[in-house]
Each structure stands twice: as structure tokens, then as C-alpha cells.
Chain A
């Protein structure tokens, strides 16, 4: 929007009488402003230089031009939240600095779940691949404080194709990409951390941890363990090595401060 545009905009918005009032008040405020500046300069010639951050009344015109001058597209700089300037010193070396990144496009909330078509196609995905998942360990709720049987799609008796056994309420709420990716991250760390050790027999360790909104892993504790200490340690190391995780998704954050996970480490791997 250029200055002329804006002026035109004002004209069309206010009536003739209002405009006159507006003009008078503008002239008066300008006069006042000039007086203040003169007095300031006169009273403190070596004082701090006066900088004008924003406009007042009709005065915003001149100052607006001052801000826009020399910048490639003035409109940009009227958008409030982003404060990334054009790189002046070494543009070629750090191009990333001049990209403005917005977390959520304006239409984000409207389109979070487009094309969501009722229940008809929802069960199809889990059902097709549910077979290999073993009986859900969540049913051992006595051993794992905080683990609750649930009514979600990946309930206590099955788990989805990915083997995410999920406790808790909310249809499909916990069966999210986040839990699946965490499972894979901890899993690959676990394989590495027990390399070179051959375990015999059946072992099982349950480790509970919390994930903060920023994705930090906190309060790691063993809630149940039948394995030798080395097995426990490999599981603990795998969880610690997965810190930090990505920030919790918005869907989680709206519900609670932190999200608790229980990771079930089993040998032999099912």
C-alpha cells in the first residue's frame, strides 16, 4: 500500500465534516509536536537524539515513508510479528536468515483435518495390519502406574499395525504419528545400545518417561523389570539417547503440560 493509496483510503472513509475536524486536529498535533522537538533540542543540545518509533494522528504519513524507504517491498514491513531484516553484511553466506518462516499459515486451523470422512474408512487401516501385533501389554495395568486401559482405536487388546499399544481415551488421539516416530527413534537407539550383548531367556523392562512441550525427556524411571541389570541399562540408555524429541504436536499440547510415555522393552523382540 503506497502513501497515496492510504490517503485515498482515508478520504473515502470519513465524511466532509469529520475530515475538517481531522485536519484541524492534525495541524494542531503537528504544531505541538514541532514545539516539543524544538524545545527539546534547545534545552538539551548534547542530549540523546530523538528517534521516532511510530506516528501519531495525521503525522504517520511522513514517518511511514521514512520507514519504507530503501526497502524492497514496503508492504512487508507493516506486518507485525516477524522481525527478520534483509541481511546486509553477508547475504550470500547465510541465506537462511532472510527467509521468513511462519509456523501456521492463516488457514491452518480450518484445514487441520480436511476430507475427514466419518467412521466408514477409519477402521480399514488398523484392521488390515492388526494381525501380527501381540496381545497388548497395557493390560498389565497393575505394574505400570499411570497406564490405563482405554477405548481408543488401538485399545488394550490389540494395537495397530505399528504395534503401538495405546491406553487412554479419545478416538485415534494417541495413535498419532508422534508416538510412532518416538517408538522408532527409541527402538533404533536401543538396538545400538545393546550391541555386542547376547541375552538369553525372556526379559521385559517397562520404562516410564515424560515428554515436555519442547520435546525434552524428563523423569525417566523403571516401573517394572524382569531382566538382568544389563538389559535394564540398555533400555535406559536408549531412552536417554532419544532426548530431545521434537516439540509435542499441538493436539497434545492443548490437552496437558507433559505427555507420559511407557516404553516396553522385550527380549526376544516380538
Chain B
């Protein structure tokens, strides 16, 4: 009981201490081009004392997944394991900083961890140390059923990315990608992790379900379904599978896109009394429906700017399909592409500076991915000479793009860095298209 007597004193000192430090010195920084941070990632080990051999298999998954996540994060360079000291590290006590501070290795941070089985639960501990100051940057413990082993690795990767990029990204390892998959009877909406693992169906109604779109909080997916005779829009809740039909109907509704605040839906529609396809905006309950492109041309594939004040869409009003931008009332219309060839499926980058789209410069050419800088209309080519590359969608970190390509013969989903490097194929399912990347996963 004795130590409790000190509590008031402790509380008091906690209150006074910040005040005493009120006149503080500043930390001086000199902003400069970012240098790539180099990480060392020795394999996580079974925690000493762990007797369950099953942990080895889980650890293999954790080690593999974490390495891939960090390597593909676009923030780090991972030092090859062939340079690592041979010593096994599972606790911080095993870490000999001198071994890792070798200037030739150039490592900035080291990630270590261990795992054990605790009454059927997998417990993973992870720590990150700054090799310059030997400070612990991150210390986390995760406890879950073994089925979520990969999710733990993703979670660790996201924490590391978020901290060491100073929040430039929150990490995309726990994000997911929605896409349509060809089936025997039509097309169904599927979900997969950002790396293609954990494939799971969202719809299975035997009809044609296309153009999935995430809402900003990752709770709903909007999509077009031909389940009734005419295509209309549906919203499906990922928490409980509840399905809602989007009220405007009668006509041809497709390509939904949630506004950044999640309260409105933009879509293209040719309603019954209309003479052409236009872009509409409506609340999620179908209220406040308005046509923002009253023009006798075909307008499709809307996407929102991250501020929610502008939309980009495809329109053939100039003769050929091109990417146009306007505000949410249809004013301030400009074309950002070159008024030639065939441009389609725009997606606005999370920082608002770029729009990625697919473009077919001439009749004979293939579709390739291009990025347009919105302010300058400068255009940069991402893919080249490998089949048709279409329907791009940005990752929430603005550093990755997912798209569909038929370069392997069938249409599959690929991811790529936003500078056009580091291509990865994430599906091999004979016919996947129209991917949409989710927002950052909610950290609970």
C-alpha cells in the first residue's frame, strides 16, 4: 500500500513538469530532398520459450509478407539479408548495434520481432530501432487467431511506413482492391488484398455485375448490376453484406463514384426520357438528383477530385472521347487531353495534382496508361508496348496505381508505381477487370 502514497505527488509533478518546460528550445530542421530510407529486416524468430512448432509456419508467412510489403511500399530500400550478421535476433537484448552501424551498410533503421503461440492465439511482437541513436521508434504487440497472420504483417508494415515517412503515407499494405471477375454466367464483384491474396466474392447472383467503386470509409461498394432487366446501381455493405438498390432507375445507369465526403454518388446514366448519356450527381438515397453535363454528347466514367469540388469524366463532345474537367455544377469545363485518339477511365490522384487515364493515341495503337498534371496539362506515359492497359485507379498513398492489362493473353489486374516502375501482377484468374483501390484501412 505504501507506494500509493506517492500517487498524489506523482500526479502533481506530472502537472507541473510541462509548465516548467514551457519555454522550450526549438528543433531546427533543414528541409531537403528526401533520401531513401534503408531498412534492415532480419527474419522474425520464435520467441524463446515458445514450444509450439506451428509458429514456424506462421512466421514464414509473416516474414515473407512483411518483406514484400515494405519493399513495395515505395518508401524504403531493404538491405539484402546476405549482408546480415549471422546472429539470431528475437529480443532487443540480442541486438548488437555495433554490427549494424557499419557505414558501408548504410542502414538507417532495423526491424526486429518474434512470435509465439499463446493458448491458440498467435502473438507477434515487433520493434523498430533507429540505428543512429539506438532509440526505439516503434514497439507493438499483436494478438490474433492464426488465420489473420498475413493481416498482422500488413499492419506492421503500415505502422512502419506511416512513422518513417512522417505520415506522407499511412501505408497501403492493409488496403484492398475490388474488381470484376469473369464467371461462367457473367461477371461478379470480387475483393482481394492489395497484393492479390485473400480473394473473396462480394456478389454471386449469376448475373453481370461490373464497375465496383469503394466509398471513402471502405464500408460500402457501389456497382452496376444487370440483375434486373436494365442495368442499375447497387450499394453493398461490407460489414454485413446488406444490399441496397440505388433509387434512380429506369434507363441505363453505370460507373458510380463516391464523393470524397461519402455523401453523394456521381454516375453516368441515360434515363428514360433523356436523349443521351450524361453525368449525374445524387445523394445516396437518390435525392437531389441533378444532371451536370447537359450536352448532346456521351459523358461517362465520372471521378471526383479529392476536394470534392471538381469532377473529371470522359466525353465525346469534341468528336472523340477525351478527359474533361468541370465543377460539380458543370461549369468551368476544360479538356485536359490532346483532343485526339481515344481517352477513357480517368482517376484523380489523392493529392489532387494528377489524373491517370488510359489512352489509345491512334486506331492501330493499344490502350496505355498516362498521367496528366492537372495544372499544366503536361502528360506522362506510364506503360508501353504491352497489350491494352486500362481502367487505372490510384492507391490512397498516391504512389501506386492498379489497372487491368491483357498483356499475358487474358485480362488480369496489375499494380505499378506511379512513375511506371515495379510492375506486379496480382491476379491470375482468366478475366479480371475494372479494379478500384480502397482508401486507407481504418486503424482501430
Contact = CB atoms under 8 A, between A and B. Distances in A.
A204 to B, nearest CB: 11
A270 B30 contact: yes
Contact of B132 (A165, A177, A208): A177
Given A94-B238, A185-B168, A163 B174 contact: no
A99 B30 contact: no
A136 B28 CA distance: 10
A92 B32 contact: no
A93 B178 CA distance: 12
Interface string A164-184: 111111001011111111111
A137 B31 CA distance: 13
A264 interface: yes
Nearest to A192: B353
In the complex, the 6 A-B pairs of residues with the closest C-beta atoms, listed nearest first: A168-B25, A187-B31, A185-B166, A183-B29, A177-B130, A181-B166
Contact of B200 (A76, A93, A176, A181): A93
Given A75-B119, A148-B25, A190 B31 contact: yes
Contacts of B141: 101-102, 104-105
Given A99-B142, A191-B33, 5 more contacts: A93-B239, A115-B92, A177-B133, A181-B163, A256-B24
B34 A188 contact: yes
A143 B243 CA distance: 62
Interface residues of B, number: 72
B98 A90 contact: no
B52 to A, nearest CB: 14
Contact of A115 (B22, B93, B127): B93
A162 B142 CA distance: 33
Nearest to B193: A95
Contacts of A166: 27-28
B167 A146 contact: no
Contacts of B174: 96
B165 A185 contact: yes
B219 to A, nearest CB: 9
Interface stretch (A33-41, A49-57, A239-247): A239-247
Contacts of B93: 111, 114-115
Interface in B86-129: 91-93, 95-98, 101, 103, 109, 119-121, 125, 127
B44 to A, nearest CB: 14
A188 B139 CA distance: 27
B29 A263 contact: yes
Given A105-B125, A115-B96, A184 B155 contact: no
- Is the contact region of chain A dominated by helix, strand, or loop, or is it mixed? loop
Interface residues of A, number: 94
A165 B72 CA distance: 32
A161 B140 CA distance: 29
A266 B31 CA distance: 9
Given A101-B140, A172-B133, A182 B166 contact: yes
Interface stretch (B143-151, B254-262, B297-305, B359-367): B143-151
B25 A147 contact: yes
B134 A98 contact: no
28 contacts: A72-B145, A95-B198, A96-B441, A99-B151, A101-B444, A102-B141, A111-B92, A114-B92, A114-B95, A115-B134, A117-B98, A125-B132, A166-B28, A167-B25, A167-B27, A175-B133, A176-B130, A177-B132, A183-B29, A188-B34, A190-B31, A256-B22, A261-B28, A263-B28, A264-B29, A266-B30, A269-B33, A270-B30
Interface in B429-444: 441-442, 444
A150 B25 contact: yes
